[in-house]
Amino acid sequence: MDLLLGLASDLADEVPDLDLDKILEVPVVYAAAKVGRASLEQPADGSAPDNEDLEPLFKTIIEHIPAPTYNPNGVLQAHVTNLDASPFLGRLALLRIYNGTLRKGQTVAWARANGELKNVKITELLATKALDRVPTDSAGPGEIVAVAGIEEITIGETLTDADNPQPLPLITVDDPAISMTIGINTSPLAGRVKGAKVTARQVKDRLDKELIGNVSIRVLPTERPDAWEVQGRGELALAILVEQMRREGFELTVGKPQVVTRTVDGKIHEPMEHMTIDVPEEYLGAVTQLMAARKGRMTNMANHGTGWCRMEFIVPARGLIGFRTKFLTDTRGAGIASSISEGYEPWAGPIEYRTNGSMIADRAGVVTPFAMINLQERGSFFVRPTAEVYEGMIVGENPRAEDMDVNPAKEKKLTNVRSSTGDELERLIPAKQMSMEQALEFCAGDECLEVTPSAVRIRKVTLNGNDRAKERNRAKRN
């Protein structure tokens, strides 16, 4: 109840015409999903609800959630609200039926996003039963069903009556804001994992399969036949795709996330995000400083005396690359952030993501404790002793801004002359272990990620040190 009162107080200031009585009169059901119980009576702390099943929850839903309204004389109108894919049926369109009846084998009008009307046949109609989809012959208003047989259908389009078509308003999907290059693994350690999928054909087939059920991404060709540009709404969505492919046994080379720009009246425009942040009051300064460094401008701030502040920012989409990890660290995990698309605005200027350089292995070999002890005063490591490295692989972070070539495989020279003093115990600082998201955030413009089922490594795009030196000199001259 305290939570509801606090919510009502916040909403009363932001939405004066809101009916607060309805908010405070919402039914409360106490449920424990793990044991499958629900009750209208609050259980004691640490105990499960007294009822033996979930019947109170279902009764509450039936009593308080209104049934769908529809026109009994209306023609068929079914909106595509989501997409899925089946290995046997191909693309599935998830529909909500507003009016009329949809039947298996029926010929309907497909109202496309470009305004075109096309007659199609419903080859398969699936209803949901528990967690499974089962075939059905017909479905009526209010039902959510899946249909197969329409390969290019997408979210927001309508299936309507073929003789009297009446399309519903189109649902638009936000354009991609972030892109990254995904290709086959080109490192010297490629193919070491047994059973890994390493060919360009396998990677392309997997990306094409993702396009069937994921309308938020686009896959575009690049200059190389073994790499593709994958565009999505945000860095997290693309990172989830890469992680799924890694768990499926793919070996990939993943480029640093980049922003998708467009040219308007001869000027470069970039996508902007409207970000809403809720944080405890003590982290207000840290969050404001973090957003300012990423070219964010505050549009609103509210503090209702509950100990929490709500801030709203307009920030470039590229400013959110690497934002999540830093935000959670600065707010000790207490901050809540969400963002929606805010259109395009002129380029906001350079954003500095990282001020430190990289420690780069200058040769292939196995990391030795002797080399790490001698190098640990010059930076922090990402690799552990006995790890295999290759030329051009990033093995650590240099505190200075420039990159530094190191030899992490250097071994201690042994002689047949006995030392006058015994070996002294040296303490080796543990290596920093980064997740795939953190590794993507760390990557500089000339670096990329090697993703395999067993490891995630950061490397230079150009592995050979001499070739990298030539590229730097060429860039300076230009």
The domain that holds 437 is classified in CATH as 2.40.50.250
Per-residue model confidence (pLDDT) at position 435: 84
Are 30 and 137 in the same domain? no
Distance in angstroms (rounded) separating the CA atoms of residues 355 and 353: 7
The whole-angstrom separation of Cα 198 and Cα 183 is 9
Domain count, the chain: 4
196 lies in some domain: no
- Average pLDDT over all residues of the chain: 87
pLDDT at 207: 92
Residue 52 belongs to domain spanning: 2-60
Both 316 and 396 in one domain: the answer is no
Does the pTM of the predicted model rise above 0.75? yes
Q: Per residue in 165-178, pLDDT tens? A: 999 998 887 788 89
Neighbours of 308 (CB within 10 A): 18
DSSP 299: E
Domain-embedded: residue 150: yes
- CA dist 23 and 6 (Å) reads 11
The answer, yes or no, to whether residue 125 has pLDDT greater than 60, is yes
Residue 415 pLDDT more than 80?
A: no
Quick one: pLDDT at residue 15? 61
DSSP code for 199: S
Instruction: Report the pLDDT value the prediction gives residue 26, as an integer from 0 to 100.
Output: 81
Final residue in a domain of this structure, among 126, 160, 194: 160
Question: Would you state the structure tokens that stand for residue 460, as one six-digit string?
Answer: 């230079």
Q: Which residues pair with 278 in a beta bridge?
A: 310, 336
Residue 385 predicted with pLDDT over 80: yes
User: Distance between CA atoms of 167 and 159, rounded to whole angstroms?
Assistant: 7
Between 213 and 98, the higher pLDDT residue: 98
Q: What are phi and psi of 37, to 5 degrees?
A: -130, 150
Q: Measured in whole angstroms, how far is the alpha carbon of residue 182 from the centre of its chain? A: 15
Question: Any idea what the Cα angle at residue 347 is, between residues 345 and 351, rounded to 5°?
Answer: 125
> Per this entry, what is the length of the chain?
478
Report, as an integer, the average pLDDT of 433-445.
85
Task: For residue 413, name the pLDDT band (cuts at 50, 70, 90).
Answer: confident
**Does the residue 54 lie in any domain?**
yes
**Which stretch of DSSP H or E encloses residue 418?**
none
Q: Are 367 and 409 in contact (CB under 8 A)?
A: yes
Distance between CA atoms of residues 271 and 343, nearest Å = 6
Report the CATH number at residue 280: 3.30.70.240
* CB neighbour class for 391 (10 Å; exposed up to 12, middle 13-18, buried from 19): middle
Backbone CA torsion sign across 82, 87, 91, 95 = negative
Q: Are residues 83 and 39 in the same domain?
A: no
Phi and psi torsions of 391, nearest 5°? -60, 130
Contact 178, 257 (CB under 8 A): yes
Q: What's the pLDDT score for residue 3?
A: 47
Give the separation between CA 397 and CA 434, rounded to whole angstroms. 12
Does residue 445 lie in a domain region?
yes
Domain match, 362 and 338 both: no
Looking at 137, 160, 183, the residue that finishes a domain is 160
Query: Does 246 map to a domain?
Result: no
The neighbour count for residue 395, using CB atoms within 10 Å, is 27
- Is the pLDDT higher at 25 or at 50? 50
Establish if 406 belongs to a structural domain.
yes
CB atoms within 10 A of CB 185: 24
Highest-scoring range by mean pLDDT, 80-89, 101-110, 416-425: 101-110
Residue 68 clears pLDDT 90, i.e. is over it: no
CB atoms inside a 10 Å sphere around CB 50: 12
More confident residue, 38 or 421: 38
**45 & 83 share domain:** no
pLDDT digits (tens, 9 = 90+) for 457-475: 999 998 888 888 888 888 8
- Is the residue at 220 inside a domain? no
Q: Categorize the per-residue pLDDT at 307 as very low, low, confident or very high, splitting at 50, 70 and 90.
A: confident
124 lies in some domain = yes
pLDDT at 10: 60
Pick the last residue of a domain from 128, 160, 192: 160
* Residues forming beta bridges with residue 230, ordered by sequence position: 180, 219
29 with 85, same domain: the answer is no
Residue 381, classed as helix, strand or coil, is strand
- Asked if residues 392 and 463 have their Cβ atoms less than 8 Å apart, the reply is yes
- SS3 state at 389: strand
| φ and ψ at residue 463, rounded to 5 degrees | -80, -40
Do 325 and 369 sit in the same domain of this protein? no
CATH code, domain carrying 107: 2.40.30.10
CA dihedral angle for residue 26, residue 32, residue 36, residue 39, rounded to 10 degrees: -40
